[in-house]
Structures are given as structure tokens and as C-alpha cells.
């Protein structure tokens, strides 16, 4: 049981890391889009 529990925690941690990486990429992408948008408006 303990081994299974540890494995479950490991899977959760892996999923959380993937999710946070994905969120980071999404936020960076949004900021990049907004940056390009404001640059376009400046010209």
C-alpha cells in the first residue's frame, strides 16, 4: 500500500509540474501577443 501511495503522489507531482509548465507557456504566449499588439499600435 505504501509503495502505491508514493507512486500516486509522484504521479500527482508530475501532473502538477506539467500543468504549471503549460500555464507558464500560456502566460508567456499571452504576454508576447499583447506585446506585439502594443508595438503595432505604437507605430
Which tens digit of pLDDT belongs to each residue from 1-43?
Answer: 677 889 999 999 999 999 999 999 999 999 999 988 887 775 5
pTM here is 0.56
Coil/strand/helix, residue 32:
helix
Task: Determine the Cα–Cα distance for residues 24 and 29; give it in Å rounded to an integer.
Answer: 8
DSSP letter, residue 1: -
pLDDT for position 1: 66
pLDDT for position 7: 93
Burial class (CB in 10 A: 0-12, 13-18, 19+), 19: exposed
Sign of CA dihedral 27, 33, 39, 41: negative
According to DSSP H, which parts of 1-43 are helical?
Answer: 2-42
pLDDT for position 27: 93
Amino acid at each position: 500500500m505504501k509503495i502505491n501511495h508514493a507512486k500516486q503522489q509522484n504521479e500527482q507531482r508530475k501532473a502538477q509540474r506539467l500543468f504549471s509548465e503549460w500555464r507558464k507557456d500560456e502566460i508567456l504566449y499571452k504576454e508576447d501577443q499583447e506585446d506585439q499588439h502594443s508595438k503595432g499600435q505604437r507605430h
